[in-house]
Amino acid sequence: MTRLLQAAFAISMMLVAARSAEAQRPTPGEVVVVLAKEAPGTIAPELAELTALRRPPFDSFRSMEVLERRGLSLRVGTPAEVVLPNGRKLRIELQRIGPDGRFRVKVSIQREGEQDYLPLLQVVASPGDPFFVAGQSHQGGTLVIGIRLGDAA
């Protein structure tokens, strides 16, 4: 029985070490900043096929223009910041990678010296599947921020 317990302990330690190594490996991602407007116009071709942007509340926008794309690399527990066109900061923190490969992410939007606009949003996202946050006014429209982590399976 003792050998069985030792083997079980050794296997569990190997699994913990493997998960720890995976958590420290950088996770690639991308932030896409979109200027969306309700006025008729065009939708950038790279956004037209994104299902999430064709559902409420995003389906009310009749034009969408990509303002910027920025690659990022996240490690579990280490936040990254992206300065948005309106001067606020998008803060993204990868909290953990689940056994199913999905990412638990914390997102907030902050402005220096003021209360957070988006104080805290927690999302569980599949690899390669973008999620979006919106609501800040900018240049006669609304900023829509897309975040994608990992690669699609």
pLDDT in tens, 81-117: 999 998 889 999 999 999 999 999 999 888 776 665 5
Q: Indicate whether 21 belongs to any domain.
A: no
Residue 104 makes CB contacts below 8 A (sequence gap 6+) with: 94, 95, 96, 97, 98, 122, 123, 124
pLDDT confidence bin for 25, thresholds 50/70/90: confident
**Does 136 map to a domain?**
yes
Higher-scoring residue by pLDDT: 153, 85: 85
* pLDDT over 60 (residue 14): no
Q: Does residue 95 form part of some domain?
A: yes
- Determine the average pLDDT of the residues in 117-133: 86
Domain that holds residue 119: 26-149
DSSP state of 150: S
The tally of domains found in the chain comes to 1
Is 83 inside a domain boundary? yes
Q: Are 102 and 125 in contact (CB under 8 A)?
A: yes
Give yes or no for residue 72 having a pLDDT over 80: yes
Flag whether 40 is in a domain.
Answer: yes
Q: Is residue 19 part of a domain?
A: no
In a domain, 16, yes or no: no
Does the N-terminal peptide bond of residue 57 adopt cis geometry, omega within 30 degrees of 0?
Answer: yes
Is 75 inside a domain boundary? Answer: yes
